Structure 1
Amino acid sequence: MDSLVSTQWLADEIGASDLRIVDATAFLPEHARNPLLEYEACHIPGAVFMDLADIVDTTSPVPNMLPSAEKFASRMQALGLGDGSRVVIYDDSPIKTSTRAWFMLTMFGAQNVALLDGGIAKWKAEGRRCAQGRETLRQRHFTVWSDDSHVRTKADVITNLSTGSEQLIDARGAPRFTGAVPEANPALASGHIPGARNVPYSSLFAPDGTWKTPDAIKAAFEAAGVDLSRPVISSCGSGMTANVVIFALHLIGKDDVSLYDGSWSEWGLDPATPKATGPA
């Protein structure tokens, strides 16, 4: 199974005994939408709902931080996702939250995970069938395992400011990156981490919501001044759209990419961290 699958591929595979379909839609407060209600109203047949708001480290003062391996495995088992499952994830979110689910599944040991190109919006646009209510699957064993080698902390990013060993990419829109627009949370400073390059996550998609071609993805990074031969740390507002950057780079064969999970929610809150404004 490729990392990116088409709606036709999924339609042909639905019903396979090892296939698990996951709706990983999540929203920001300003979207004023309820992902579970939307899932119950219309989801791809057989899909279970992954509540990303519940799969976080609730002990961290920083919002939306990665959970422990034990917590993640427990949530996956409850969803019926187990060792050996082929997992296809989709969303219907403006911030492409299926990429966060993909990052976590791969980090916590799932071997065969793909995103649905175009999400459920493309599925519905093609007139394909939706199901209502909630789907439940038999619990399956999901081994507790974690590889955090592609996760960076605030301390790592501070060290990197001196060493420059990894490039920083910020997935937020240009107005937030430059500081022209203030953060929604008034406690957060405006601007970006010094030295970061700006690749807005929305620039990686075609107008119909599917991913751009590999050549167009490469061009987007190169236009922002990213050297694709060097390793990358991806950041955003709260560790969500940074995963869009990570998946886009994965699509072009680049996997020496790490997530700064705290992102601007952590960096912008700390008065001691350096901040930059204006274009990169």
Structure 2
Amino acid sequence: MDALVSTDWLAEELGANDLRIVDATYFATDPTRDPAAEYEAGHIPGAVFMDLADLVDTATDLPGMLPPAEKFASRMQALGLGDGSRIVIYDNSPHHTAARAWWMLKTHGAHDVAILDGGLAKWKAEGRVLKKGKETLRHRHFTVWKDEKAVRDLAQMKANQASGAEQVVDARSAARFSGAEADPRPGVAPGHIPGSVNIPQDSLFEADGTWKRGDTLKSVFDAAGVDLAKPIVTTCGSGVTAAVVLFGAHLLGASQVALYDGSWSEWGADAATEKAVA
């Protein structure tokens, strides 16, 4: 299974014994929308709802941090996602949150994971069938595992400031990156990590909401001066859209890509870190 699958492909695969579909819609900055309620109002048949707002590390005050491996595995088992499953993830969020779910699953050892190109919006636009309510879930075994190589913490990011070993790519909007727009979180400074470059996550998509591909996608990275053959760390506000840029690099064959989970929520709130503006 490719990392990115089409709605046609998914429609043909519906009902396959090893296929699991996941709705990973999440609205980090819009409290007026309830992703669980929207899921129950209409989802792709067979899809389960992955609550990204709840799938976090509760031992930290930082927003949306990766949960412990045991907690993640337990939640996946409860959703019926297990070893040997082919997992297809979609969302209906402007933040393209399926990428965060994809990264979390890959980080925790899932092998066959894909994102639905165009998400729920494309599925609905094509007039395909939707189902209401919740799905009946059957527990499956999900091996406890976590690949620390895919994650960066504050100490590693500070060390990278000195070494410059990894390119840092920020997925926030240009206004947030430059500091022209204030951070929405109290106590978090404006600006960006010195030396980082900006690839706003929405620049990786076509007008119809599908992913850019091939040279068109690569041109976005080229314009930002990112060398896909060299190590990359992605960051954003809270680690969600950073996964979008990470997935885009993955589509282009980049093999040394990690994500700074604390992102600007951590760096921008730390009085000891350097900040750059403009």
Q: TM-score, normalised by structure 1?
A: 0.98
CA deviation after TM superposition for structure 1 residue 217, in Å: 1.3
Question: Counterpart amino acid of 2:159?
Answer: T
Q: CA offsets per residue over residues 182-216 of structure 1, 9 Å max, x none?
A: 01123110000000000000000000000001211
**8 Å contact 1:79–1:136 — kept in the other structure?**
no
Task: Report what 2:114 is aligned to.
Answer: 114
| Runs of at least 4 residues off by over 6 Å | none
CA deviation after TM superposition for structure 1 residue 133, in Å: 0.3
CA deviation after TM superposition for structure 1 residue 114, in Å: 0.3
Task: Report what 2:133 is aligned to.
Answer: 133
**Aligned pairs for 1:204-219 within 5 A:** 204-219=204-219
Task: Report what 1:91 is aligned to.
Answer: 91
Q: TM-score, normalised by structure 2?
A: 0.99
Task: Report what 2:164 is aligned to.
Answer: 164
CA deviation after TM superposition for structure 1 residue 227, in Å: 1.8
- Aligned pair count reads 278
Q: CA offsets per residue over residues 109-134 of structure 1, 9 Å max, x none?
A: 11100000000100000000100001
**Aligned pairs for 1:106-255 within 5 A:** 106-255=106-255
Task: Report what 2:101 is aligned to.
Answer: 101
Question: Counterpart amino acid of 1:189?
Answer: A
Name the CA distance, whole Å, in 1 between partners of 2:210 and 2:240.
18
User: What's the Cα RMSD here?
Assistant: 0.8
Q: 2:11 matched to 1:11?
A: yes
3-state SS of 1:121 partner: helix
CA deviation after TM superposition for structure 1 residue 31, in Å: 5.5
Name the CA distance, whole Å, in 1 between partners of 2:269 and 2:68.
24
Task: Report what 1:63 is aligned to.
Answer: 63
Q: CA offsets per residue over residues 164-197 of structure 1, 9 Å max, x none?
A: 0000000000000000010112311000000000
Q: CA offsets per residue over residues 80-112 of structure 1, 9 Å max, x none?
A: 001000000000001011001000111111110
Structure 1 runs not aligned, ≥5 long: none
Name the CA distance, whole Å, in 2 between partners of 1:30 and 1:247.
23
Task: Report what 1:49 is aligned to.
Answer: 49
Farther-moved stretch of structure 1 (1-10 vs 54-63):
54-63
3-state SS of 1:234 partner: strand
**Aligned CA distance change for structure 1 residues 164 and 64 (closer, same or farther; 3 Å):** same
Q: 2:277 matched to 1:277?
A: yes
Question: Counterpart amino acid of 1:264?
Answer: W
Name the CA distance, whole Å, in 2 between partners of 1:63 and 1:51.
14
CA deviation after TM superposition for structure 1 residue 229, in Å: 2.2
Name the CA distance, whole Å, in 2 between partners of 1:146 and 1:30.
30
Question: Counterpart amino acid of 2:189?
Answer: A
Question: Counterpart amino acid of 2:68?
Answer: S
Structure 2 runs not aligned, ≥5 long: none
Task: Report what 2:30 is aligned to.
Answer: 30
**8 Å contact 1:44–1:130 — kept in the other structure?**
yes
Question: Counterpart amino acid of 1:89?
Answer: I
Name the CA distance, whole Å, in 1 between partners of 2:231 and 2:40.
40
Name the CA distance, whole Å, in 1 between partners of 2:128 and 2:228.
38
Name the CA distance, whole Å, in 2 between partners of 1:109 and 1:207.
33
